[in-house]
């Protein structure tokens, strides 16, 4: 049975082995230690990538080949564009990032290895930013590797016309997810003592924004053209993280695939991006434009940045000896 994470002496030994190598510099040594032992051990990496790949793989496996003829879009086929956005990058990827980043600072303090770190020529601010950088690299590897595997499987299934666009738009969007939830979790890890407490807030945010509110948002908007638009009347989009993420995703996607609204636009009614309007013959989607996508991107970056900076400030003033 492995007890490394439960044994402060083992944790301190790993830390001292790396940080003591001053020839590499304390920041580089801490980065290597964080990346190799804390966020990206091989088993953890494999599980993360598998979790990201399994659902898209099953979709490809059960998609009848006879439906894939001519110049078929991978983003449109079997709803893969929405599935990737929702399953991979609204649920699984945030959870991976949150659980990986939650212990980065709080566990160092709990195991008292933070005392050893601050005894070296490295500030607490640099400790947080170095660990955050290691987390970013891990997230980039997970995102790019999983998307690449999905694309390889897609090529085996059928020569889709937009595989590079699928890879590009989802990878760029994953960086937004990575910075937001990584920055939030690392900041909270510098404030709270227990990793479980650190994980609670961002995980609840994921559940509320992408599961709970998703079910009620269409009713708030007016139920496909019927009833008052309470979502707009009370400006709930100001506080709706799910809306801002969807807004940014569609903006990035439109750069790669201009016809993205025709492919998955109607599905984003459940995230407030569009409203279904009855024309007398059929329903048409009307983009809401509550926020410009760039404003939504800035909104998300600022929230994560504030929490990360607040965590750094709190850690610099915090007594870590007890």
Q: Determine contact, residues 59/18, Cβ cutoff 8 Å.
A: no
Where along the chain do its domains lie?
A: 4-212+298-317
**Which pLDDT score, from 0 to 100, does residue 95 have?**
96
**What is the chain's mean pLDDT, rounded?**
86
Q: What residues contact 26, with CB distance under 8 A and at least 6 apart?
A: 19, 120, 121, 122
* Average pLDDT score over residue span 240-256: 96
pLDDT one-digit tens code per residue, 258-303: 989 888 888 888 898 988 776 667 777 788 899 999 999 999 999 9
20: pLDDT strictly greater than 80: no
Averaged pLDDT, 186-210: 92
Rounded-to-integer distance, Cα 161 and Cα 149, Å: 17
pLDDT at 202 > cutoff 70: yes
Whether 321 has a pLDDT exceeding 80, the answer reads no
Angle between helix axes 103-110 and 124-157 (nearest 10 degrees) is 140
Q: Please give the pLDDT value at position 219.
A: 80
**Quick one: pLDDT at residue 276?**
76
- In percent, the amount of the chain with pLDDT more than 90 equals 52
Q: What are the start-end ranges of the H helices in the chain? A: 8-19, 26-33, 42-62, 80-83, 93-101, 103-110, 113-118, 124-157, 163-189, 195-207, 213-221, 230-233, 241-256, 260-264, 293-317
Q: What is the pTM of this model?
A: 0.88
Separation CA 128–CA 30 (nearest Å): 10
Angle ∠(12,15,20) on CA atoms, nearest 5:
115
């Amino acid at each position: 049975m492995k007890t490394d994470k439960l044994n402060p002496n083992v944790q301190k030994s790993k830390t001292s082995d790396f940080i003591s190598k001053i020839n590499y510099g304390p920041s580089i040594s801490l980065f290597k230690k964080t990346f190799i032992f804390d966020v990206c051990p091989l088993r953890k990496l494999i599980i993360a990538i598998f979790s990201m790949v399994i659902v898209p793989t099953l979709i490809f496996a059960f998609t009848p080949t006879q439906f894939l003829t001519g110049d078929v879009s991978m983003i449109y086929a079997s709803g893969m564009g929405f599935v990737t956005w929702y399953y991979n990058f609204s649920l699984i990827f945030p959870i991976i990032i949150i659980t990986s980043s939650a212990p980065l600072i709080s566990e160092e303090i709990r195991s008292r290895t933070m005392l050893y770190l601050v005894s070296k020529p490295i500030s607490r601010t640099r400790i947080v930013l170095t660990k955050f950088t290691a987390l970013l690299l891990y997230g980039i590897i997970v995102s790019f590797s999983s998307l690449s595997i999905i694309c390889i499987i897609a090529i085996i299934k059928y020569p889709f016309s937009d595989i590079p666009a699928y890879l590009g738009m989802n990878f760029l969007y994953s960086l937004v997810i990575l910075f937001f939830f990584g920055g939030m979790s690392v900041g909270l890890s510098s404030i709270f003592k227990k990793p479980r407490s650190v994980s609670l807030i961002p995980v609840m945010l994921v559940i509320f924004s992408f599961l709970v509110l998703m079910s009620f948002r269409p009713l708030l908007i007016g139920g496909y053209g019927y009833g008052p638009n309470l979502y707009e009347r009370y400006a709930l989009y100001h506080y709706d993280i799910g809306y801002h993420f969807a807004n940014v995703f569609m903006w990035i996607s439109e750069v790669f695939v201009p016809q993205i609204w025709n492919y998955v636009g109607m599905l984003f009614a459940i995230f407030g991006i569009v409203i279904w309007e009855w024309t007398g013959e059929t329903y048409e989607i009307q983009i809401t434009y509550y926020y410009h996508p760039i404003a939504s991107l800035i909104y998300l970056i600022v929230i994560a940045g504030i929490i990360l900076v607040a965590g750094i400030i709190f850690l610099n003033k915090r007594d870590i000896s007890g």
